[in-house]
Chain A
Amino acid sequence: MRRLWQFFSQTLYGRLLLLTSLPLILLAVLLTTSVLSDERFDVQREYQDAGVAVATYLAATSDFALYSGDEELLHTLAMSMSELAQIEAVIFLNFNREVLVSSFVGQAPWSDLLPEDIGRDPLAIGGRLYIERPVVISGVEIEDYGDKQSPQSETAAITGWVIVVVDMSAIEAERQAILLRNGGTAVGLLVLVFFLSLILSRGMLAPITSLKTAVEAIESGDLEAQVEPTGVNELAALGRGINYMARSIADNHRGLEQRVRSATSRLQMSLQALQLKNVELEEERQKAEEANQAKSDFLARMSHELRTPLSSIQGFVRLLEQSGLDASEQQYCTIIEQAAEQLLLLINDILEHARLQSGAMELDLQPLEIIACIESPVRLLGPSAYEKNIEVIIDVDPELPVFLYGDSQRLRQVVSNLVANAIKFTERGHILVRLMNGGVVDDQVTLVLEVEDTGIGMSAQQQEKVFEAFTQADTTITRRFGGTGLGLSIVQTLVALMGGEITLHSEESVGTTVRVSASLALQVGHRQIGQLSASIAVFDPLAVSRQSLGHAIQRMTNDLRLYGHFDVLVKDLVMRDIDAIVINLPIDEFEHSLSDMLVRLREFTHVPIFVFLPLRGLRGKAAFNISGIEGLDITYLVKPWATTEFFTIYNTLKHGSPIGSGAAVPLKNVKVLVAEDNDFSRLLLSTLLEKAGCELQAVDNGREALVLCEQSAFDLLVFDVHMPELNGIDALVEIRASGGLNTATPAVVLTADVLQHEDRLDSLPGRNKMMHKPFDNTRLIELILTLLNKQPCRMPLQAVATQRIPLAQFFQEVEKLLASAVEAYQERDIGLLREITHQLLGIAGVFKQGELEKQIKALHTLIKEEDAWVGDALQAVEQELAHLKAEAGEEGL
């Protein structure tokens, strides 16, 4: 069908055929239809006319027979008429419309015919036509003079009726015959017309078809094809034209081919030259990359090589400081120390930059608590800001999801760089670190970090270059503030690595705001802390920090009141129920005496009071005028504030004071043998267990433990796995096998190796449990209680443990182990390095120094995998330790 349509609509032949045959076909169809219609009508009329004629004739001739009731005569009349083809039957009715004679065969529709006269018009019932005429008795004129009055009416009288039945089915048969006859003629005519059109079209199109064939041949590339100049004049001229055109095209084609060949050979030559160039360029590029790699390697190596002697310089300067120097010599030492510190920072920056530039860095996405991650570097840098009397405020959006996935180390690096920069260029005012929720889409949080300062600011020109490496806003800045100018460049690279954006807005003498936004994946299924029903009052004269503090406290309660004026707070204390008071005062000025304020508050309320102070303030209470008010039961918290501080508030309000009087001693009188080779770990364990009420004996290797076990019975054995001479598990195996006093004594085996399994313990008799280091105090106590079948304890043991062990001792132990690790690394003693790292891992978590623990874990992993970055990881641990020490130093611990 579609091909037929295409033939008629898209070919000249088809169109011409259509043009010639269509009018003829239409004419033939119209004529046939008209003739058919006329003939069919004529047949019907002929039948009807015949019926009417017969009825009229019979009406005129049957009057006598009807009048005289001569049925024989009537029957003769009826039968004579029934012989006609059109007439099926004749019926005679008398004056009362009763049937006298009927030649009808079958059942006539008497009910329709007899009741009253049908009228002049034929009546169609079923397939028959009934024509009725009245039979009127007519007379003959016998009077010559018509006006003579007649006593009887001379008008014609009806004496009966004649009904003629015409068979219409005969009409239908005749109609079909007509249709067949005329239809056949029409079809014959159409076929004739079609073939005539076909012949006509062919004759007309033959020259055109010849032209088309030639054109198609030319189209398919046969440029030598020629048209036979036949047909009518116009087509012959067209044929000659096509021939001429084909020859021209052929000539042009040959010329073009020649030109293309020539151009192609030229192009090939150019391509060869280009390929040669490319090879040279590739070689150059490889050289450049190698040179760049060499530079990066050189920088990394040099940085490391530079730091080693620098560490010595710093160490010896510190020793020199403690060697009884006079004041001027002490000052020289301080200068050397500061210079060395600056140099170290510079080297670190260069190293970091080199690593970033080499593209070797990849993000280590881990689950993290974003607030703690951001707070940590701010808190580290807080003291240096407070030194300059600059307020440091952390403002966290209460709607920000806390548990995310990210590279915490790099995030800290970003924050650290930005905050350090801000501190560097700010002389007064504040630094606001704002953490905001930029929106959550498909479990991705857009984290927005803003670091705003009230520092010297930058001009537009300076802002343009600020992200370039080794660039500072101004050379005078380098002179005035120091630094390498790598900070922002590193930050920008790190943010780009995270797929984020960094923008900077600055105004000279007003301040600078750096805004970083990055998309972090959301952890699912984390429980949020429950809201408190407590009403908390916040007093802070500075609007910015008051608002930030409010945001932080909003996370734990909705019933929050912010006060900028102390008097209003005091007034509200009388008027309202307030469950706790949080106070933060600006660092640079105090309109009120803090001690006076606290005393006054205590006059009105006994609810917990929390005061945020910088470490410096806590160390020298006099500076904040809080000496002499120890009896007021005030809780002092460290600023810049962090989540841990707010947890203190939260726990106090929820459970009461963390350090209750009369703390429980759940392991009272439990005899314990501790075997641990590391002094610090041993001390830690001893302190914890003694505090829990244990009677304790401690040894530093397995062999000694065996000896003690032979001498006395213990309630519990706590052994480290890694010990010289005899390790913990082997010692336990021997004790269990000896059949001595402690064969069935429950044992806890401690190990820092996460790959260590309990398989060997399972095969030993007695109750043996393994715990991984760093252990959680509470869990260890609970485990011991379980082993001893005692009731679990609810006491906050961590505070107890840390209270007894000085932080300095912890640092000292870590430093010692770290120094050994560096030595082992330099000597490439991997076994020793792994052992030391293992020990480091064991004690790192004790003081909840999360970042340090994380760094050590990273180091542990790198050593296991014998990664090239072990040196860097060691440095990172050293750096973290230095930060922690610096912080602790502020506290004077």
Chain B
Amino acid sequence: MQEHKVNLLARTLTGIVLSVFTLFASADRRSVYLLLSGEQPYYQQVSQVFERALAEQPNGPRILASGLDQSLQVAAGSMVVAIGSRASEFALKRFSKADIISLLMPVAAWDELHKHLPGLGRRAAVVIDQPLQRALTLGQLLVPNARQVGAVFGPISVGKRTHLLRVVQHRGMELVYADMGSADNPIGVLSPLVQKSDLFIAVADRAVFNKSVAKWLLYLSFRQKVSVIGFSQSYAKAGALGAVYSSPENIGRHGAELVMKLLAQEQDEPSVAQLWGTNYPKYYTLAINREVARALNIRVPELETLYREFQALLESYR
């Protein structure tokens, strides 16, 4: 109980000091408030990369890191960077007039949040979801002979179907897909789909594509010797042949660059105006499960070669 009182006092004092400091400092350097959703390592990693990148900048803003403190006051027109869903929701609720940049959020979650808490300030986000062509590219790279590309879409991800269909066709392949509702038996849906596919692209849709379905997918694909390309490092570890995802460093770095750009070009330039919105991660990371590759009898090059070939292939379809 005593410890709780001490924490409360410390937070209050920090808030007061920050507020006073903001009043005096606002004239020459912009301050950026940094809010973390929790103590988890990936939030810390995003924060560290973000701060370090900004610190390296000659006119970098002043970073004011803080927890989700109810007593925190933010001056109007200030920029708030929130890492994670909780911090983003906190910022949208508390500082509706401030400019808020959300990092490390799933795109569906950010869209949902933004829709419910619009606010007066500007909003930007660096989401964790990857453009589907990246996954398709990795699949093509690893399974060059793939012709039938399988995918399942849920209620959230159904909007991406058209995009993927176009991309697949563009690359000379055929998309084999199915829509899955929450009432559908995932195995009943997945089993015939996998049987028809040479390569399966896992599309993130948390409405139906949960851990169990992921497991069935991996199990069925393993039985059918079909390669699966996931959307997270965890997917690769769980049994997918490979995955394209953005690491906390990727997001942190992207976030710092975004802030610098927004701070530097505050004018109403159209390029800048585009930045105030949802940004897919600029930087990515490739993950390969070499055990699965061996089981599927797929030769995977060294990581450096892989990145190079991946980049080259990606560029070739641009």
State which of B60-68, B69-77, B167-175, B234-242 sits at the interface with chain A.
B234-242
Number of A-B contacts (CB under 8 A): 78
Can you list 5 contacts pairing A with B, beta carbon distance less than 8 Å? A138-B215, A141-B211, A142-B238, A144-B42, A147-B84
Write the nearest CB–CB distance from B118 to chain A, whole angstroms: 19
Partner of A147, one of B37, B231, B239: B37
A139 beta carbon closer than 8 Å to chain B: yes
A142, B217: Cα distance in complex, Å = 12
A149, B207: Cα distance in complex, Å = 11
Q: Are B104 and A145 in contact (CB under 8 A)?
A: yes
Residue of B212, B214, B234 contacting most chain A CB atoms (<10 Å):
B212
Partner of A144, one of B37, B187, B234: B234
A150, B85: Cα distance in complex, Å = 11
A696, B176: Cα distance in complex, Å = 181
B274 beta carbon closer than 8 Å to chain A: no
Residue of B37, B202, B232 contacting most chain A CB atoms (<10 Å):
B232
A150, B207: Cα distance in complex, Å = 7
The 7 nearest A-B residue pairs measured at CB:
A139-B211, A140-B238, A139-B212, A144-B232, A142-B214, A68-B187, A140-B215
- The digit string for B27-52, where 1 denotes a CB below 8 A from any CB of A, is 00000000001101010000000000
Write the nearest CB–CB distance from B104 to chain A, whole angstroms: 6
- The digit string for B184-218, where 1 denotes a CB below 8 A from any CB of A, is 01011001000000000010001110111111101
A143 beta carbon closer than 8 Å to chain B: yes
A646 beta carbon closer than 8 Å to chain B: no
B106 beta carbon closer than 8 Å to chain A: yes
Chain B positions 219-263 with a Cβ under 8 Å from a chain A Cβ = 219, 230-235, 237-239, 245
B86 beta carbon closer than 8 Å to chain A: yes
Q: Are A141 and B234 in contact (CB under 8 A)?
A: yes
Known: A138-B215, A141-B234, A142-B235. A148 touches B106 (CB 8 A): yes
Chain A positions 110-158 with a Cβ under 8 Å from a chain B Cβ = 137-152, 154, 157
B182 beta carbon closer than 8 Å to chain A: yes
Write the nearest CB–CB distance from B61 to chain A, whole angstroms: 25
Q: Which residues of B contact A8 (CB under 8 A)?
A: none
Known: A144-B42, A148-B85, A152-B207. A138 touches B234 (CB 8 A): no
Q: Which residues of A contact B219 (CB under 8 A)?
A: 64
B109 beta carbon closer than 8 Å to chain A: yes
Q: Are B84 and A152 in contact (CB under 8 A)?
A: no
Q: Which residues of B contact A148 (CB under 8 A)?
A: 85, 105-106, 109, 206
Q: Are A151 and B206 in contact (CB under 8 A)?
A: yes
Q: Which residues of A contact B185 (CB under 8 A)?
A: 68
Q: Which residues of B contact A775 (CB under 8 A)?
A: none
B128 beta carbon closer than 8 Å to chain A: yes
Q: Are A139 and B85 in contact (CB under 8 A)?
A: no
A67 beta carbon closer than 8 Å to chain B: yes
A149, B84: Cα distance in complex, Å = 10
Q: Are A141 and B210 in contact (CB under 8 A)?
A: no
Q: Which residues of A contact B208 (CB under 8 A)?
A: 152
Which residue on chain B has the smallest CB distance to residue A139? B211
Main secondary structure of the interface of A (DSSP, over half): loop
Residue of A143, A145, A149, A151 contacting most chain B CB atoms (<10 Å):
A145
Q: Are A141 and B206 in contact (CB under 8 A)?
A: no
Q: Are B40 and A140 in contact (CB under 8 A)?
A: no
Q: Are B210 and A152 in contact (CB under 8 A)?
A: yes
Write the nearest CB–CB distance from A136 to chain B, whole angstroms: 10
Partner of B211, one of A140, A145, A151: A140
- The digit string for A57-88, where 1 denotes a CB below 8 A from any CB of B, is 00000001001100000000000000000000
Q: Which residues of A contact B235 (CB under 8 A)?
A: 142
Partner of A142, one of B85, B216, B234: B234
Q: Are B210 and A67 in contact (CB under 8 A)?
A: no
Which residue on chain B has the smallest CB distance to residue A150? B206
Q: Which residues of A contact B40 (CB under 8 A)?
A: 145-147
Q: Which residues of A contact B182 (CB under 8 A)?
A: 152
A154, B84: Cα distance in complex, Å = 20
Which residue on chain B has the smallest CB distance to residue A157? B212
Known: A142-B232, A142-B238. A147 touches B85 (CB 8 A): yes
Q: Are A152 and B233 in contact (CB under 8 A)?
A: no
Which residue on chain A has the smallest CB distance to residue B247? A144
Q: Which residues of B contact A147 (CB under 8 A)?
A: 37-38, 40, 84-86
Write the nearest CB–CB distance from A180 to chain B, whole angstroms: 50
Write the nearest CB–CB distance from A500 to chain B, whole angstroms: 121
A154, B202: Cα distance in complex, Å = 18
Classify chain B: how many residues form its interface, as a range: 35 or more
Q: Which residues of A contact B188 (CB under 8 A)?
A: 68
Residue of B40, B230, B234 contacting most chain A CB atoms (<10 Å):
B234
Q: Which residues of B contact A145 (CB under 8 A)?
A: 40, 42, 84, 104, 128
Q: Which residues of A contact B109 (CB under 8 A)?
A: 148-149
A143, B85: Cα distance in complex, Å = 14
Q: Are A152 and B206 in contact (CB under 8 A)?
A: yes
A149, B210: Cα distance in complex, Å = 12
Q: Are A67 and B85 in contact (CB under 8 A)?
A: no
Q: Are B207 and A151 in contact (CB under 8 A)?
A: yes
Q: Which residues of B contact A154 (CB under 8 A)?
A: 210-211
Known: A147-B37, A151-B206, A152-B207. A140 touches B86 (CB 8 A): no
A129, B202: Cα distance in complex, Å = 45
A142, B109: Cα distance in complex, Å = 17
Write the nearest CB–CB distance from B204 to chain A, whole angstroms: 8
Chain A positions 518-559 with a Cβ under 8 Å from a chain B Cβ = none
Q: Which residues of A contact B37 (CB under 8 A)?
A: 147
A145, B191: Cα distance in complex, Å = 28
Residue of A68, A142, A149 contacting most chain B CB atoms (<10 Å):
A142
Q: Which residues of B contact A152 (CB under 8 A)?
A: 182, 206-208, 210
Chain B positions 3-29 with a Cβ under 8 Å from a chain A Cβ = none
A348, B303: Cα distance in complex, Å = 172
A151, B213: Cα distance in complex, Å = 15
Write the nearest CB–CB distance from B235 to chain A, whole angstroms: 5
Chain B positions 100-117 with a Cβ under 8 Å from a chain A Cβ = 104-106, 109
A145, B238: Cα distance in complex, Å = 15
Q: Are A140 and B239 in contact (CB under 8 A)?
A: yes
Which residue on chain A has the smallest CB distance to residue B220? A64
Q: Which residues of A contact B38 (CB under 8 A)?
A: 147
Write the nearest CB–CB distance from A73 to chain B, whole angstroms: 11
Q: Are A139 and B215 in contact (CB under 8 A)?
A: yes
Q: Are A140 and B104 in contact (CB under 8 A)?
A: no
Write the nearest CB–CB distance from A476 to chain B, whole angstroms: 140
A345, B249: Cα distance in complex, Å = 172
Write the nearest CB–CB distance from B275 to chain A, whole angstroms: 23
Contacts A142-B202, A142-B231, A147-B40 supplied; 14 other A-B pairs, CB < 8 Å: A68-B191, A139-B213, A141-B211, A142-B232, A143-B232, A144-B42, A144-B245, A145-B128, A148-B109, A148-B206, A149-B109, A150-B206, A152-B207, A154-B211
Q: Which residues of B contact A157 (CB under 8 A)?
A: 212
Which residue on chain B has the smallest CB distance to residue A152? B210
Which residue on chain B has the smallest CB distance to residue A141? B234
Write the nearest CB–CB distance from A375 to chain B, whole angstroms: 132
Write the nearest CB–CB distance from A604 to chain B, whole angstroms: 135
Q: Which residues of B contact A137 (CB under 8 A)?
A: 212
Write the nearest CB–CB distance from B240 to chain A, whole angstroms: 8
Q: Are A139 and B187 in contact (CB under 8 A)?
A: no
Write the nearest CB–CB distance from B77 to chain A, whole angstroms: 29
Residue of A137, A150, A152 contacting most chain B CB atoms (<10 Å):
A152
Write the nearest CB–CB distance from A859 to chain B, whole angstroms: 146
A143, B106: Cα distance in complex, Å = 11
A477, B1: Cα distance in complex, Å = 140
Write the nearest CB–CB distance from B69 to chain A, whole angstroms: 19
Write the nearest CB–CB distance from A796 to chain B, whole angstroms: 142
Write the nearest CB–CB distance from A133 to chain B, whole angstroms: 18
Q: Which residues of A contact B230 (CB under 8 A)?
A: 142
A746, B18: Cα distance in complex, Å = 181
A651, B86: Cα distance in complex, Å = 149
Q: Which residues of B contact A67 (CB under 8 A)?
A: 187, 216
Q: Which residues of A contact B206 (CB under 8 A)?
A: 148, 150-152
Q: Which residues of B contact A143 (CB under 8 A)?
A: 232, 234
